[in-house]
Amino acid sequence: MSINIKPLADRVIVEPAAAEEKTAGGIIIPDTAKEKPQRGIVKAVGNGKPDEPMTVKVGDTVLYGKYAGTEISVEGGDYLIMREADIFAIV
Amino acid sequence: MSINIKPLADRVIVEPAAAEEKTAGGIIIPDTAKEKPQRGIVKAVGNGKPDEPMTVKVGDTVLYGKYAGTEISVEGGDYLIMREADIFAIV
Amino acid sequence: MSINIKPLADRVIVEPAAAEEKTAGGIIIPDTAKEKPQRGIVKAVGNGKPDEPMTVKVGDTVLYGKYAGTEISVEGGDYLIMREADIFAIV
Amino acid sequence: MSINIKPLADRVIVEPAAAEEKTAGGIIIPDTAKEKPQRGIVKAVGNGKPDEPMTVKVGDTVLYGKYAGTEISVEGGDYLIMREADIFAIV
Amino acid sequence: MSINIKPLADRVIVEPAAAEEKTAGGIIIPDTAKEKPQRGIVKAVGNGKPDEPMTVKVGDTVLYGKYAGTEISVEGGDYLIMREADIFAIV
Amino acid sequence: MSINIKPLADRVIVEPAAAEEKTAGGIIIPDTAKEKPQRGIVKAVGNGKPDEPMTVKVGDTVLYGKYAGTEISVEGGDYLIMREADIFAIV
Amino acid sequence: MSINIKPLADRVIVEPAAAEEKTAGGIIIPDTAKEKPQRGIVKAVGNGKPDEPMTVKVGDTVLYGKYAGTEISVEGGDYLIMREADIFAIV
């Protein structure tokens, strides 16, 4: 379930949830109109900063800010790497 | 009364109070003229930061700044997630 | 004398003094020309931050900066909620 | 010599020295050309911040920056209220 | 494998991975269209800041931000020198 | 050699060295073309900040940044008052 | 090898390496086209900040940022004075 990357310090790698492709009424949403998802699954977790252990774990579904993190491509997948402080909540 | 989300660190999830739909004189206020409410009910509370326990509790009615927090949609409801420092007072 | 609100942390609720409605010479000042008062009475006081007890008390008359605080309406009154650090002095 | 106001924390109330009304050659300086004085007498002193006792005392003549402090009017006098850190030196 | 430079404090010297010269379809990419690589190999590591030992080691493949670091030319090679905090993860 | 002013905290009073009035070739430099001197003699020294004793002493010749300090006129002389951190070196 | 100046705190005096006057092909580079060198030799070192001893020593060849330091002229030579934190590495 996790991936073979070790985030440094208080960083977390998140796989964003796929955006909805249809509206509730069944209308297909063109790519540019899809809102960037703000929900994802944690794939890798750093060791935290000194005296600040991490709270999230691999496998957690998390909510994060619209502009949180940096996009990275590793092992054929697209992920976001962000600091734990950018994560709002565990759902 | 609470919802099944765990805010991280010093974050709090607040359900904003519904804005008034009529003026005192009974005039219906169109949606765009309603002032964004600054009062709400706490729905979930994080564990706080190290050495800084949280003050607000689930169920408290709180006042917060006009631009505080980020809107999130979970379990079919619209909430604000904010830091406890964005909350001014418990009413 | 106090009101039933609990400010969080180092916040203070102040009731601004009414602005003068007439000049010394008796001329009535229109509403827009009245300078926003910078003097008020403390109505509620938070518990302070860890290791920083509060100095002002309910009932103190205080001076504060022209742009200090946020306006709130509670229990039918208009108040300012500000941090104690925004208060200059007790008169 | 002091006035009946208690500045909070590390604040100091200073009575600015009167600006010179004449040049050395006896020419009367119009009000707008007078340079704002940067020298004054301490009228009231706060209790300092935790672990930082105050250095200036009531009655000291001090030098301060051109834009230091906020003007306040109390007990019929015009004063500046500033932080001790805005005071450069005791003359 | 390392180079004969000693970065100061928490700095790290990274040799950026060569950018792809062809697209998957075999089209040669002109120089200006190549995206600056964000992956490289650590060549030298500082001693860290007091009480903050370094995590990355010489030889690690690391991911870093698009604008991280400063380009330097030493011993005939082009490297980036950056702070460890600019490194996102070890691959 | 010193003057009768007590700088507060980590402040230092410096008498700027007179700017050269002639070039090496003997040409008189008009006032506006003289570069503001960055070298001066320490005239008074504060007590330092808590746990940070002062390094410079009265009488030291020091180098400082082009825009360091504030000009003050006391006891008929023109001086600069600056923080010790604005002083680069003792010559 | 050193010069008779004592930098304060964590400052270092560096003598920039002379810029190359010719290209590899022997073409003389006009003055304005020479890139400001980013390599130099340490000439004097401060005592460091409390609890932060200095790492560089007089005689070290160092790399530093393009805009690091302030130019000073002392004892007939042109030097840069910078903080040790502006130095990237010892070559």
> For D6-33, what is each residue's pLDDT tens digit?
999 999 999 999 765 556 666 666 655 5
Q: Average pLDDT in the G1-13 region? A: 89
Per-residue pLDDT for D45 more than 60?
yes
The answer to whether the Cβ–Cβ distance between E81 and G90 falls below 8 Å is no
pLDDT of residue E87: 96
Chain E residues lying within 8 Å of G65, measured CB to CB? 70
pLDDT of residue D50: 82
pLDDT category at B90 given cuts 50, 70, 90 is very high
Element of type H or E holding E82: strand E77-83
Per-residue pLDDT for E29 more than 80?
no
Cα–Cα distance measured from residue G48 to residue G10, given in angstroms and rounded to the nearest whole number? 4
List the structure tokens of A6: 């070790």
pLDDT category at F52 given cuts 50, 70, 90 is confident
Contacts of C32 (CB under 8 A, 6+ apart): none
pLDDT of residue B73: 84
Nearest to B90 by CA among B52, B54, B64: B64
Q: Average pLDDT in the D65-87 region? A: 90
Which of D6-15, E41-50, G14-23 is predicted least confidently? G14-23
pLDDT of residue E81: 95
The answer to whether the Cβ–Cβ distance between A9 and E63 falls below 8 Å is no
Element of type H or E holding A78: strand A77-83
Q: Is B72 on the interface with C (CB under 8 A)?
A: no
pLDDT category at C76 given cuts 50, 70, 90 is confident
pLDDT of residue D18: 77
pLDDT of residue D41: 97
Chain A residues lying within 8 Å of B6, measured CB to CB? 89-90
Low-confidence spans in chain A with pLDDT less than 50: 34
> For F1-29, what is each residue's pLDDT tens digit?
568 899 999 999 999 997 655 566 666 65
Nearest to E70 among G65, G84, G90 (CB): G65
> For B35-67, what is each residue's pLDDT tens digit?
555 899 999 999 998 888 999 999 999 999 888
Closest chain E residue to G86 measured between Cα atoms?
A: E8
With a CB-CB cutoff of 8 Å, which residues 19-38 of chain B face chain C? 38
pLDDT of residue C23: 61
pLDDT of residue D26: 67
Q: Average pLDDT in the E43-69 region? A: 93
pLDDT of residue B23: 61
pLDDT of residue E5: 93
Nearest to C72 among B52, B63, B84 (CB): B63
Nearest to E8 among G38, G66, G87 (CB): G87
Give the DSSP per-residue string, C43-57. EEE---BTTB-----
- E51-58: list long-range contacts, CB under 8 Å, 24+ apart: E51/A50, E52/A50, E52/E10, E54/E10, E54/E12, E54/E84, E55/A8, E55/A9, E55/A47, E55/E84, E55/E90, E56/A8, E56/E12, E56/E84, E56/E87, E56/E90, E58/E1, E58/E2
pLDDT of residue D1: 55
The answer to whether the Cβ–Cβ distance between A6 and E89 falls below 8 Å is yes
More confident residue, B91 or E2: B91
- Provide the edge-to-edge strand list for the sheet that holds F61-64: F70-74, F77-83, F11-16, F39-45, F61-64, F87-90, G6-7
pLDDT of residue C37: 57
pLDDT category at F76 given cuts 50, 70, 90 is confident
Closest chain B residue to C11 measured between Cα atoms?
A: B88
> For C34-74, what is each residue's pLDDT tens digit?
554 589 999 999 999 888 899 999 999 999 988 899 998 88
**Residues pairing with B50 in the sheet:** none
Q: In a mutagenesis test of the F interface, which of D88, D90, D91 is the best target, namely the one with the most F β-carbons within 10 Å?
A: D88
Ordered by where they begin, the domains of chain F are 11-18+31-90 (2.30.33.40)
Per-residue pLDDT for E46 more than 90?
yes
More confident residue, F36 or E67: E67
